[in-house]
Amino acid sequence: MGAKASLETIEKMRKISLDIQNRIEMKEHNRKMHLKENLSLETLNKMKISHNSPEVIQKKKDANRIKMKSVKRIDPITEEVKEYESIHSVTVDGFKYQEVWACCNNRQGKHRGFYWQYANIKERINYDSRNNFL
């Protein structure tokens, strides 16, 4: 035979049960409120305008430009230097941006016969006649 619960214990269990039920209902309510299908057409239009306004788009572009680092490609024989707007833009000339990144971060010496470095670095790469770093 089981022990009888006191009225106080029963009341605590009822409150806990109601609290759990309220939390579940609140989560469901919040989930429904965040679904776009439940938003009014006016609210959806406001969201669309605010996220796609020319000002917001320009801010995103400017933020990306700040993050980009331009890189230099240095030919060890002719010492010709070509500058690229970003590491990803080197793919236009058939280079792998991962390899260029490795060169710029001193993890690799050359990529396809060229030295690479970030353009904002003032000092030039020094190499000897055998194309080794000094």
Instruction: Give the burial string for 102-127 (b: 16+ CB within 10 Å, else e).
Output: ebbeeeeeebeebbbbeeeeeeeeeb
Lowest mean pLDDT among 47-51, 98-102, 125-129: 125-129
Q: Is the pLDDT of residue 131 over 60?
A: no
Sign (positive/negative) of CA torsion 107, 111, 113, 119? negative
From CA 84, how far away is CA 90, in angstroms rounded? 6
**Owner of token pair 């305008």:** 49
Q: What average pLDDT does the segment 7-16 reach?
A: 87
User: Residue 123 has what pLDDT?
Assistant: 58
Q: Is the pLDDT of residue 1 over 80?
A: no
Q: What average pLDDT does the segment 50-64 reach?
A: 73
pTM of the entire predicted model: 0.47
User: Residue 120 has what pLDDT?
Assistant: 82
Q: Is the pLDDT of residue 10 over 90?
A: no
The CATH number that domain 68-118 falls under is 1.10.10.10
More confident site: 104 or 50: 104
Residue 69: which of 121, 118, 125 has the closest Cα?
118
Give the DSSP H or E segment for 96.
none
For the chain, the straight-line distance linking the first and the last C-alpha, in angstroms and rounded, comes to: 88
